[in-house]
Structure 1
Amino acid sequence: MKWFIETMKKAFNFSDRSRRKEYWMFMLIAFLITFVLTIVDAVAGLELAPEVGILSTLFSLLILIPSLSVTFRRLHDTGKSGWWILIALVPVIGWIVLLIFTVQDSETGSNRFGTNPKAAV
């Protein structure tokens, strides 16, 4: 939960670097919370339309900006511009490319986006 809260605190920081651990822990916790909220929506009958729950939709809107910022920072950590996130607009192939970028190890040392976050640990 620490990683999720830290990422939420840096929601509007699109310029630094984020480690793989920060990125993937945020994504895992966000997925788990969304999963639980979807079940709560279904059980409580809180659906706006079939398969669209109120709580899960509100949570998704809440984490939209933090998700974008942590992805930008993760791309920066690998030495790529955050604008590579737009590759996800290309169905399937774009998603695979973005996945590969996010699982890559950090660029060693400092890069144009800042110092290596692993060095600070």
Structure 2
Amino acid sequence: MFENFKQTFQEGFVFQGRSSRSQFWKFVLFTFLVSIVLLIVNSVVFGPTITTQFNVKINSAGEQTESLTQLKQYSSGWLGIIFGVVILIPGVAVAWRRMQDAGWPGYMTFLPIAGAAIAFALFFATSHTVPIDTASVPQGIEVPATMRLPNSALTFFVAWLTAAASLIATIVLLARRSQPGPNKYGPNPHEVPS
């Protein structure tokens, strides 16, 4: 698995050609395992991040409820951020080549971003602004004066479904078999001696 990760980094800025399913999914697995290790290391060394949140909920009748919660979150911290920056371009490159290996254009890798953008635009186009009653907010806690609510549950569901469907479609495309023989992106990686 480490050799696969090393090969992916050596091809880190190469967007031409094809990558096999095993190369892509081994890269994903290695990245996942390193992220877990970084989460554990950061949690042991620095502990959890504790945040206090003031929550405001407004139902469809316009009734407002507030609550104060304290969250304990564990993360990979700065180590995870640095690791994420280091693997970003090689990760996009191997996913790009994996799409091309399955016969799809590499830019299909960004389908989830397009789906999220469409969902975000749909939500804001079909929602309205509601004022928040800040009279009962404890002193020292800052809350916005307004929040956006969807006009209907259907449009909120369609926006959520658009984002989820684009992510699922991308995973399905990345999991497809290699096209047999050469395709317009290059030779089949299973048929090329390494």
Same fold (TM over 0.5): yes
The answer to whether the 8 A contact 2:16-2:185 is kept is: yes
- Structure 2 gaps of 5+ residues are 51-72, 116-162
Give the corresponding residue for 1:120: 192
Q: CA RMSD in A?
A: 1.7
Query: Matches of residues 6-21 of structure 1 in structure 2 within 5 Å?
Result: 6-21=7-22
- Structure 1 gaps of 5+ residues are none
Q: Secondary structure at the match of 2:186?
A: coil
Larger radius of gyration: 2
Percent identity (aligned): 31
One-letter amino acid matched to 1:67: G
Spell out, residue by residue over 1:58-114, the C-alpha distance to the aligned partner (whole angstroms, 9 max, x if none). Answer: 101100000000000000001110110121122211110011001100001111110
Higher helix share: 1
Higher strand share: 2
Give the Cα–Cα distance (whole angstroms) in 2 for the partners of residues 86 and 17 of structure 1. 17
The answer to whether the 8 A contact 2:24-2:95 is kept is: yes
The ranges of structure 1 where at least 4 consecutive aligned residues each deviate by more than 6 angstroms after the TM superposition are: 46-49
Query: Matches of residues 98-117 of structure 1 in structure 2 within 5 Å?
Result: 98-117=170-189
The structure showing larger relative contact order (alpha-carbon pairs under 8 Å, at least 6 residues apart) is 1
Structure 1 residue 31 displacement after superposition: 0.6
Shift in CA distance, 110/30, structure 1 to aligned 2, threshold 3 Å? same
Asked if 1:82 is matched to 2:82, the reply is no
The answer to whether the 8 A contact 1:47-1:53 is kept is: no
Q: Secondary structure at the match of 1:12?
A: coil
TM-score relative to the length of structure 1: 0.93
Give the corresponding residue for 2:88: 64
